[in-house]
Amino acid sequence: MISFRQFNKSKNKSVLFIHGLFSSSGFWFEHLRQFRDFRIILCDIDYENFFENPVVCNNYIIDFVNKNNLHATISHSFGSAMNLNIDDAITRINICPITYKSRINSSDFILEIEKKTKLEKNFIEKMLYDAETYLKINQQASSMRIANMINFIPKNDSFFTYKGNANFDGDHFNIGRAIENILRLDELS
């Protein structure tokens, strides 16, 4: 359901990476070298199981965070919904925070996910429905907590519009510039 892998275990500061809905921890691989000065923790979430019992899953992540003395969390897309539950004392960073958005071009998004993952359209639609339901149920808490996070919003997202100003060159899946900006944050030094 949820698993964690750690790298650079000898480093003092740790960063937890939380992937989006149709992804895995592999989404972060191309960016990890840039975090060589941190203990890296990759989280793999089976969102299909998550939607069956979100309270248990959220508590599992919160317990892990509390036991592992995290310095920061970095989430992408739907992972920002997981980031909402983490203590405000930890630096929480979202890239393409879908808790802060409206979906556009839904059919194009589904086609893109089909291409990237080989998942079937019916499954993708069900997962999107479950994700929207989860977000609606948690909407009030989300809007209050998202303001206490650092959000990176792409200039060219064909699938979502966001509240707030775009602050990195990229799109929903090309987040390299957001990573560069994150590494310059005072909160990570």
* DSSP assignment of 3-44: EEEEE-TT-SSEEEEE--TT--GGGGGGGGGGGTTSEEEEEE
One-letter amino acid at 46 equals D
Confidence at residue 9, expressed as pLDDT on a 0 to 100 scale: 93
Of 14-18, 90-94, 141-145, 153-157, the least confident: 141-145
pTM: 0.94
Contact 142, 98 (CB under 8 A): no
Closest to 149 (Cα-Cα) out of 82, 62, 54: 82
Predicted local distance difference test score (pLDDT) of residue 143: 61
Q: What percent of the chain has a predicted confidence (pLDDT) above 70? A: 95
- If you ran DSSP here, which 8-state letter would residue 73 be given? E
pLDDT of residue 140: 66
pLDDT, one tens digit per residue, over 116-135 is: 999 999 999 999 999 999 98
Residue 100 has a pLDDT of 66
| C-alpha Rg value of the chain to the nearest Å | 16
Does position 139 have pLDDT exceeding 90, yes or no? Answer: no
**Do residues 153 and 167 touch, judged by C-beta distance below 8 A?**
yes
Helices (H), 68-138: 79-83, 106-117, 121-137
Sign of CA dihedral 35, 36, 41, 46: positive
Nearest one of 96, 83, 90 to 159, comparing CA atoms: 96
pLDDT > 80? residue 148: no
**For 30-49, how does the pLDDT look when each residue is reduced to its tens digit (9 = 90+)?**
999 999 999 999 999 999 99
pLDDT reported for residue 42: 98
Q: From 37, 40, 50, select the one nearest 5 (Cα to Cα).
A: 40
Distances (CA, A) of 120 to 1, 21, 150, 178: 21, 14, 34, 30
Query: What are the structure tokens assigned to 92, written together?
Result: 């929480």
The whole-chain average pLDDT of the chain stands at 92
Output the six-digit token pair for 102: 């409206």
Q: Which helix (H) or strand (E) holds 150?
A: strand 150-152
